[in-house]
Amino acid sequence: MKKIIFSCVLATFAWLPFKSVKAQETIKKNGYTLSFESNFAGLDPQLKKRLIKTFFEVYPKLAKEYNPSTMKQVKFFVDTNYKGVAATSDGKVTFSSIWMINHPEDIDVVTHEVMHIVQDYGRSVGPGWLTEGIADYARYKFGVDNAGADWTLPELKPEHSYKNSYRITARFFAWIEKYIKPGTIKAVDDSLRDHTYTAAIWTKLTGKNLDELWSDYVSNPSLEKSK
């Protein structure tokens, strides 16, 4: 019986290196704490450092700009079981290990995802395209290496709509900030967080509703490439 038990123990430890083993590290800096976990044994140590560095570079800036009361403790988890790109919930960002392998330069996926933590809309009264558009606008404005990831705001196409979300919406927002009224997106973000958002806020802030703003954008969509 003892031999059988001993053999099972050996088999267990022999099996562990081939499984994804969770490793955790906690980093504290300038009032913020990042808990970094991974079950991906093949995670490049340099990529891990960049993920951590990007968090501490962009998160305080996003907090200052949009929500100083945002969480001070955030969790990152690189997960071999997650098949998307990344997802955020309750202060935890889950990154796909597959995405990390195939897109190691997409470091500003961090910027987009932690903006969701800063947004903290809870049971939002706003549409999903607006939430994601603001997050990509934040990536455009605060990203540390969008160029390295070949990430840009797409040129306007006839089939585009402000409801397309993500980068398409973000470009529209960048145009509003540049040509219509700076601070508009921050004000909209505030309204989403305090649950006062209605579509009428666009008219209140800019004098035009979303459809009118989009029509103006379509007629002259030029946008300088620099932030």
pLDDT tens sequence across 177-207: 999 999 999 999 999 999 999 999 999 999 9
> Could you give the C-alpha distances from 186 to 149, 174, 190, 208, in angstroms and in order?
26, 12, 6, 17
CATH 1.10.390.10 domain extents, the chain: 22-120
Backbone angles phi, psi at 86, to 5 degrees: -160, 155
Q: What band does 22 get if pLDDT is binned at 50, 70 and 90? A: low
Inter-residue contact 143 to 106 (CB < 8 Å):
no
pLDDT digits (tens, 9 = 90+) for 55-112: 999 999 999 999 999 999 999 999 999 999 999 999 999 999 999 999 999 999 999 9
- Strand stretches in 59-146, DSSP E: 73-79, 86-89, 92-96
pLDDT digits (tens, 9 = 90+) for 121-148: 998 889 999 999 999 999 999 999 999 9
Q: What band does 9 get if pLDDT is binned at 50, 70 and 90? A: very low
Q: Going edge to edge, which strands form the sheet with 92-96?
A: 23-29, 32-38, 73-79, 92-96, 86-89
Residue 42, token pair as written in the block:
């093949």
pTM across the whole model: 0.88
- What is the pLDDT, as a whole number, of residue 131? 97
- Cα(121)–Cα(190) distance, integer angstroms: 9
> Could you give the C-alpha distances from 90 to 22, 37, 93, 117, 206, in angstroms and in order?
20, 15, 9, 8, 33
Inter-residue contact 184 to 176 (CB < 8 Å):
yes
The proportion of the chain whose per-residue pLDDT surpasses 90, expressed as a percent, equals 86
Inter-residue contact 151 to 221 (CB < 8 Å):
no
Inter-residue contact 119 to 131 (CB < 8 Å):
yes
Q: What band does 163 get if pLDDT is binned at 50, 70 and 90? A: very high
- Cα(35)–Cα(160) distance, integer angstroms: 39
- What is the pLDDT, as a whole number, of residue 4? 33
Q: What band does 21 get if pLDDT is binned at 50, 70 and 90? A: low
CATH code that applies to domain 22-120? 1.10.390.10
